[in-house]
Structure 1
């Protein structure tokens, strides 16, 4: 499931104080609708900011979204893009686009299985791309990686030997010292085997994120995630045996058939492992996924009952974790006090200065975000992976979007204000020479009027209700140009 936090340069990270739990919801929650109900409506536009948008509009984990990227013409040379960029605290992300199964809610760039020698050919291409990327960084100044992550897909779909090669590419080709920096790796219950985890532990992994989603077998099947709780528990035991410092468990609320009681079952089952981090995700249903009903557009059709149910389950989960001593870092992320921080959190994780390797990875300079083409449908994904493995020349950026001026301000605001700790106004002013209310008066006034946003002690900070509505607030900060590009994108 998880777009787990991508790495970025370490920076001081204040622990977010635990928010006061909201009062329990009154009445009995409405039955949860079938899992193929639509999950998102269009982003709010300046004309409708007086109305409260739906709470689940869009998960904003990066800005601009990849659907706003377009082919670059002319295609810029990587060496030119990175010339003059700070390179002493880069982030490194390696993408593995393979999974055993594709979950019903997943719209990430991934395919089921890797027939024949596909993983070998993919790693060969990753090696070529890494060589080109490192050459583009040049040797005119210090080049250092401050954090790394392996994501997907499921990186642990690779066997132990292939994982060793993946680490070699990061270290020998890119020059990253994986044992000296935070290294986050995503896994699944079926691929978290002892031999794979041993490789990751030996090579310096400091965080493993496992997508459990539900400890209730019937709910997992409903989300098109065939797994048994016994197998999940066994995988968690192997992760703990590997002594990797940070365990993150992903859970999902809003699954067909889920109730407050079964949601509590999953929360308590996860808490029994005392994970250093827990992510609570609302279920989204997107086009071209297994849960997306044919002929329906989940981006334009709302379901008020499902919205209300997910919001109630979010509040239940939040309050339960706060009562167990966890600190809320963002709408989704909760951290156990004293746990090792892995750099900037959640929405703040995608900062300038990132090298992404793999056909689903993004790279960021201070001016341009770039990647390869994006798809969700299985046929298109397979075609793009095949094209990637056949590529010999990785010296130019292909698809992307420039992020300057107003877009840079929007991105900084999104990265910061969606954190429970809030955004220091002095930092914004130092970077842009203005107050965010001067740059985004209508948006911030609307958030404040709804009771979502406060300014106090030099911080622009979301209220508990504002955090609960992060997936509505974030899209309202998208620029008209990005919103138009996303609307014009044709899913494939």
Structure 2
């Protein structure tokens, strides 16, 4: 090992007193990124960053940072609307960036994309003609064959129109993910998400009519006023469409979001009591949702992801979409090499987001990484353990040993023994798998942050939310 970050016990980690601490979908977390001009290595050219990387099974992600509305819980990199031909200027910049990135990948080794995804924001905020252009950028500039690889696209009820979906189906989309969150109109309003169930049902019908193989529906539990009865009603409304996938997300209230501002004046004592009750509500609803989906013929892939038994695998799993070899295009997109994760700047506040997007659309030089974090050997071990362990399938110890030459119990003894003592591990890996128990999966959002290194945790704590 080149550093001691993997073997260092996370003594500074906060005790897992709350089950919902942080949704861990990537490591290191984006709030640990910093401007690379401040790093001794500086803003390195992309051609240098990718020179020694494998390029025969890359993933392509393109971020569209526009939405028709911004939900009260959303802290994603997106803005409301796109005035004055902003989408055109954004696509122009994407075209320039894609050309530069593809040139940086070179032609010495074969460059092949094994998966692609359009996220946001809401990619289907773009018109049908603009979606055609987006696909052209992926294919003609980057060289991704969208009709021969899994292509996942996010949408919303109001933008899942027949003409947009027809473009996606014709260009090779294999999976459409729609954020519904709740089929109960009152709950949608409580989450500051203006929508009507009739519009949601109409959008789902159009997605099915488009013939795209995999439909994913996102639902949220923990909304103010939500009960087991209304949660079951949303689950059953989703199940009526027989979606190939369902994601069940716990509600989080983040700084600078609509819901975050609404709760900013709550007294500390009252907040602590409210948090405890909210944790109980979310755990209760999670377990009810999990058990209901398992009874309905779905398999659990992670705490959040459920796949209908026998459904095609036409999109990346939670773990696969965060592996090395990710090329991200656009504001809000991250790229992953084996030793550096990089992106553009990140913000939540609308004015900051608008400024970052405006800077992107006027940029001419995309040849260097701007913001990011280096991933040394110790952090790579943490990342491998964390992202594997948070999947129901677990970590294959033989793969870990083949990659790093050590055993996860040697590298992370304190953490793994602590998880075992809490009942979060299923057995001791004697079958070659290190995996979570059902209760461990339920506490994924407490377990994940405990695997963050002290250095990453310190960087996250020092991050100034903007």
Q: If the TM-score is normalised by the length of the shorter chain, which range does it land in?
A: over 0.9
1:66 to 30, 39, 52: 30
Q: CA deviation at 1:474?
A: 0.3
Please tell me whether the aligned partners of residues 56 and 112 of structure 2 are also in contact (alpha carbons under 8 angstroms): yes
- 215-224 vs 341-350, greater mean Cα deviation: 341-350
**CA root-mean-square deviation:** 1.5
Deviation per residue, 1:175-205 (Å, 9 max, x gap): 0000000000000000000000000000000
Please tell me whether the aligned partners of residues 151 and 315 of structure 2 are also in contact (alpha carbons under 8 angstroms): no
Deviation per residue, 1:351-394 (Å, 9 max, x gap): 00011000110001111000000000000000000000000000
Q: CA deviation at 1:290?
A: 0.2
Query: For residues 258 and 189 of structure 1, what CA distance do their matches in structure 2 show?
Result: 21
1:286 is paired with a residue of what secondary structure? coil
Structure showing the higher helix proportion among its residues:
2
What is the count of residue pairs matched by the alignment? 447
Q: CA deviation at 1:47?
A: 4.8
Q: TM-score of the superposition, structure 1-length normalised? A: 0.89
- In the TM superposition, 1:238-249 aligns within 5 A as 238-249=206-217
- In the TM superposition, 1:318-467 aligns within 5 A as 318-342=290-314, 344-453=316-425, 454=427, 455-467=429-441
1:207 to 175, 181, 197: 175
Q: 1:342 to 1:404 in 2, by over 3 A?
A: farther
Query: For residues 417 and 70 of structure 2, what CA distance do their matches in structure 1 show?
Result: 41
Query: For residues 320 and 89 of structure 1, what CA distance do their matches in structure 2 show?
Result: 36
Q: CA deviation at 1:341?
A: 1.0
Name the residue aligned to 2:5.
Answer: none
Q: CA deviation at 1:345?
A: 1.3
Query: For residues 152 and 202 of structure 1, what CA distance do their matches in structure 2 show?
Result: 21
- 206-215 vs 66-75, greater mean Cα deviation: 66-75
2:259 is paired with a residue of what secondary structure? coil
Query: For residues 181 and 430 of structure 2, what CA distance do their matches in structure 1 show?
Result: 36
1:306 to 278, 289, 296: 278
Q: TM-score of the superposition, structure 2-length normalised? A: 0.94
Name the residue aligned to 2:136.
Answer: 168
Q: CA deviation at 1:415?
A: 1.2
2:55 to 87, 94, 113: 87
Q: CA deviation at 1:53?
A: 2.6
Q: CA deviation at 1:260?
A: 0.6
1:101 to 69, 81, 86: 69
- In the TM superposition, 1:5-404 aligns within 5 A as 46-47=11-12, 51-73=15-37, 74-293=42-261, 296=264, 302=272, 303-342=275-314, 344-404=316-376
Are 1:491 and 2:461 counterparts?
no
Q: CA deviation at 1:294?
A: 6.0
Query: For residues 23 and 336 of structure 2, what CA distance do their matches in structure 1 show?
Result: 20
Name the residue aligned to 1:29.
Answer: none
Q: 1:92 to 1:251 in 2, by over 3 A?
A: same
Q: CA deviation at 1:106?
A: 0.2
1:430 is paired with a residue of what secondary structure? helix
Q: CA deviation at 1:116?
A: 1.2
Q: CA deviation at 1:89?
A: 0.4
Q: CA deviation at 1:344?
A: 4.3
Query: For residues 325 and 125 of structure 2, what CA distance do their matches in structure 1 show?
Result: 28
Query: For residues 217 and 428 of structure 1, what CA distance do their matches in structure 2 show?
Result: 46
1:252 is paired with a residue of what secondary structure? strand
Name the residue aligned to 1:17.
Answer: none
Query: For residues 144 and 104 of structure 1, what CA distance do their matches in structure 2 show?
Result: 39
Query: For residues 414 and 343 of structure 1, what CA distance do their matches in structure 2 show?
Result: 21
Please tell me whether the aligned partners of residues 54 and 307 of structure 1 are also in contact (alpha carbons under 8 angstroms): yes
Query: For residues 432 and 353 of structure 2, what CA distance do their matches in structure 1 show?
Result: 46
Q: 1:431 to 1:199 in 2, by over 3 A?
A: same
Give the 4+ runs in structure 1 shifted more than 6 A. Answer: none
Please tell me whether the aligned partners of residues 348 and 416 of structure 1 are also in contact (alpha carbons under 8 angstroms): no
Please tell me whether the aligned partners of residues 99 and 113 of structure 1 are also in contact (alpha carbons under 8 angstroms): yes
Query: For residues 284 and 154 of structure 2, what CA distance do their matches in structure 1 show?
Result: 28
Q: CA deviation at 1:348?
A: 3.9
- Runs of 5+ in structure 2 lacking a partner? 1-8
Name the residue aligned to 2:3.
Answer: none
Q: CA deviation at 1:165?
A: 0.1
Query: For residues 316 and 212 of structure 2, what CA distance do their matches in structure 1 show?
Result: 19
